[in-house]
Structure 1
Amino acid sequence: MAATKDTVAAVPASRLSKEKLVKTHQAHLKKQDSSPNAPRPVKQPILSEAYPASAKSIRELEIIPLSELRAETHHRGKGVIVKVVSPPFVGAGAVSVVEDEFGNADKLAIYNQADSSILSGVPEGCVVAVKEPYYKNNGAENDFMICVDHPSDVILLRFTDPIIPEALRLGPLLKTAEDWKNAGDRAFIEKDFPTAVFCYTEALEASEDPTFQAPTYTKRAGTNLILGRYDAAKADALASRTGGPQDWKAYYNGGRAAYGLCDYAESNTLLAAALKLNPTNANIQKEHARCQARLHEEATGEYDFPEMLASLSPHSVHLDRGSFLRNTRVAESAHHGRGLFATRDMKAGELVFVEKATLMPNQYEPARASAALYALMVRQLCDNPSLAGPVLDLYAGADGVYERSGKEGTIVDGVPVVDIFLVERIRTTNCFSAPRATVENTAPSAPEGRQAKGLWVHASHMNHSCVPNTMRSFVGDMLISRATRDIKEGEELFQQYIPVKPLVDVRNERFREGWGFDCDCALCVGERRSPEAVLVKRKELLAAVEKLCNKKLPGRELIPEATIRSVDRLAKQLEDAHEPDVYDGIPRLTLIYPCNWLVAAHRGRKNHAKVVKYALKVLRNFGFWVPDENSVWDPREIYTRSGNASLMTVHVVAALRNLADAYKALGHDEMAEKCIEAAELGYMMVTGFKNDLATLDK
Structure 2
Amino acid sequence: MELNLRTTTDWKNFGNKQFVLKRYGDALKAYNVGLTLCNNEDLDLLTNRAAAYLNLEHFNKALEDTNRVLSSQPNHPKAIYRKAKALCGLSKCEEAIQFLKSAISRQNNKKPSKELSDLLEKAEIMREQQITLEYDVTEHFTNYFFRIDNWSEYYGPVEVQVIPGKGRGLVATEDIAEGKLIFCSRAFAIEFHDPESDSETAEDFIKNDKEITSLHDDRTCLLIQKIYDRIQQDPELGKNIYQLFAGPNLERLDPSKDDCSIPDARRISGIIRYNCFANSDDNTDAEKSSGIWTLPSFFNHRCIGQNCTWKIFGNFIMIRACRLIRKGEELQISYASPTWTYKVRQGLLIDRLGFRCDCELCVSDRSLPKEVIVVRERLQNLALKQSVDFVGLNPDADPALIYKKFQESSSLLIEILQRLEDMHPNHGMLNVLILDCLQQLGMKYFGVGEYEKAANYMQRAHAIMKAVVLPHGAVETGLWIVGSYLQMGDIKKAKHFIQVLKKDAMLAHGTLKTLKMLGEWVIVAMEEHNIPL
TM-score bracket, normalised by the shorter chain, equals 0.7 to 0.9
Partner of residue 182, structure 2: 352
1:384–1:261 Cα change, 3 Å: farther
C-alpha deviation, 1:694, in angstroms? 6.0
| Mapped pair 1:303 → 2:171 | no
Of 49, 58, 64, which aligns to 1:224? 49
CA contact (8 A) 2:11 2:34 kept: yes
Q: Aligned residue for 1:496?
A: 334
Instruction: Determine what percentage of the aligned residue pairs are the same residue.
Output: 17
Is 1:321 equivalent to 2:145 in the alignment? no
Distance change >3 Å, CA 270–CA 331, structure 1 → 2: farther
Q: How does 1:628-643 map to 2 (within 5 A)?
A: 642=467
Q: Is the 8 A contact 2:442 2:454 kept in 1?
A: yes
Q: How far did residue 326 of structure 1 move?
A: 2.5
Is 1:458 matched with 2:295? yes
Number of the residue aligned with 2:525: none
Q: Does 1:376 align with 2:226?
A: yes
* 1:590 and 2:433 correspond: yes
Cα contact 1:369–1:451 (8 A) shared by 2 = no
Structure 1 residue 422 and structure 2 residue 267: aligned?
Answer: yes
3-state DSSP of counterpart to 2:155: coil
The amino acid that maps onto 1:497 is Y
Structure 2 counterpart of 1:676: 498
Distance 2:410 2:440 in 1: 9
Counterpart CA distance in 2 for 1:266 and 1:384 is: 25
1:337 aligned onto 2:167: yes
CA distance 1:501–1:660, shift in 2 (3 Å): closer
Q: CA deviation at 1:289?
A: 6.0
Going from structure 1 to structure 2, the CA distance change for 1:124 and 1:692 (only over 3 Å counts) comes to same
Number of the residue aligned with 2:518: 695
- Report the equivalent of 1:394: 244
The structure with the greater share of residues assigned to helix is: 2
Give the unaligned 5+ runs of structure 2: 19-26, 197-216, 393-401, 522-533
- Pairing 1:618–2:449 present: no
> For the residues of structure 2 that align with 1:236 and 1:606, how far apart are their CA atoms?
65
Instruction: Decide whether the 8 Å contact of 1:470 with 1:482 is kept in 2.
Output: yes
Q: CA deviation at 1:319?
A: 2.5
Does the 8 Å CA contact 2:89/2:152 hold for their aligned counterparts? no
Aligned residue identity for 2:332: F
SS in 1 for 2:430: coil
Say if 2:144 and 2:313, in contact at 8 Å, map to a contact too: no
Q: How does 1:490-639 map to 2 (within 5 A)?
A: 490-528=328-366, 530=367, 532-533=368-369, 536-537=371-372, 539-544=374-379, 546-547=381-382, 550-555=385-390, 556=392, 557-558=402-403, 564=410, 567-578=413-424, 580=426, 583=427, 586-604=429-447, 606-622=449-465, 624=466
Matched residue of 1:692: which SS?
Answer: helix
Rate the CA distance shift 1:237–1:694 in 2: closer, same or farther, 3 A. Answer: closer
What is the number of equivalent residue pairs in this alignment? 471
In structure 2, the residue matched to 1:659 is: 481
Instruction: Summarize the Cα distance change of 1:220–1:330 in structure 2 as closer, same or farther, 3 Å threshold.
Output: farther
The Cα offsets for residues 195-252 of structure 1, whole Å up to 9 and x where unpaired, read as 4432321332xxxxxxxx7xx163453232133165555445555676x7x4565984
Sort the Cα spacing of 1:335 and 1:466 in 2 relative to 1 into closer, same or farther, 3 A.
farther
Task: Name the amino acid aligned to 2:162.
Answer: E
The CA deviation at 1:674 is 2.1
**Larger C-alpha radius of gyration, 1 or 2?**
1
Structure 1 residue aligned with 2:37: 202
2:420 aligned partner, one-letter code = L
> For residues 236 and 612 of structure 1, do their structure 2 counterparts lie closer, same or farther at Cα, with a shift above 3 Å needed?
closer
CA distance in 2, matches of 1:254, 1:200: 18
The residue aligned with 2:307 is 469
The residue number in structure 1 matching 2:24 is none
TM-score by length of 1: 0.57
Q: Which whole-Å deviations, capped at 9, do the CAs of 1:97-120 have from their partners, x for residues lacking one?
A: xxxxxxxxxxxxxxxxxxxxxxxx
Note the C-alpha offset of 1:538: 5.1
The CA distance in 1 between the partners of 2:14 and 2:412, in whole Å, is 75
Cα offset, 1:406, TM superposition: 6.0
Q: Is the 8 A contact 1:348 1:485 kept in 2?
A: yes
CA contact (8 A) 2:301 2:332 kept: yes
How far did 1:486 drift? Answer: 3.5
Paired residue for 1:158? none
1:497 to partner: Cα distance? 2.0
Give a deviation string over 1:499-537, Cα, whole Å, max 9, x none.
345433441232122222111223323443x3x32x632
Q: Which amino acid aligns with 2:225?
A: A
**How far does residue 381 in structure 1 lie from its aligned partner after superposition?**
1.4
* Separation (CA, whole Å) in 1 of partners of 2:470 and 2:140: 28
Structure 2 Cα separation of the partners of residues 273 and 566 of structure 1: 67
Kindly indicate whether the alpha-carbon contact (under 8 Å) linking 1:300 and 1:324 is maintained by their aligned counterparts in 2: no
CA 1:278–1:506 in 2, change beyond 3 Å: closer, same or farther? same
Q: Give the 3-state SS of the residue equivalent to 2:387 in structure 1.
A: coil
Give SS of 2:171's match. strand
Are the aligned partners of 1:331 and 1:339 in contact in 2 as well (CA < 8 Å)? yes
What does the per-residue CA deviation read over 1:552-587, in whole Å, with 9 as the maximum and x for residues that have no partner?
A: 34543325768756643543342232252xx36x52
Letter matched to residue 462 of structure 1: F
Match of 2:531 in 1: none
Match of 1:646 among 469, 476, 489: 469
Q: Helix, strand or coil: the match of 1:678?
A: helix
Equivalent-residue separation in structure 1 for 2:323 and 2:49 (angstroms): 46
How much does 1:378 deviate? 1.6
For residues 475 and 12 of structure 2, the distance between their equivalents in structure 1, rounded to whole angstroms, comes to 60
Amino acid corresponding to residue 353 of structure 1 in structure 2:
F
1:487 aligns to 2:325 (yes or no): yes
Match of 2:209 in 1: none
Alpha-carbon distance between aligned partners in 1 of 2:315 and 2:383, rounded to the nearest angstrom: 41
Alignment check: 8 A CA contact 2:84 2:100 kept = no
Cα offsets for 1:382-416 (capped at 9, x unmatched): 1122322222212223x22x34676899779xxx3
Q: Is the 8 A contact 1:354 1:478 kept in 2?
A: yes
> Hey, what's the Cα distance between the residues in 1 that align with 2:380 and 2:15?
66
Question: Which residue matches 2:396?
Answer: none
Question: Aligned residue for 1:264?
Answer: 92
| Cα distance between partner residues in 1 of 2:290 and 2:278 | 5
TM value normalised by structure 2 = 0.72
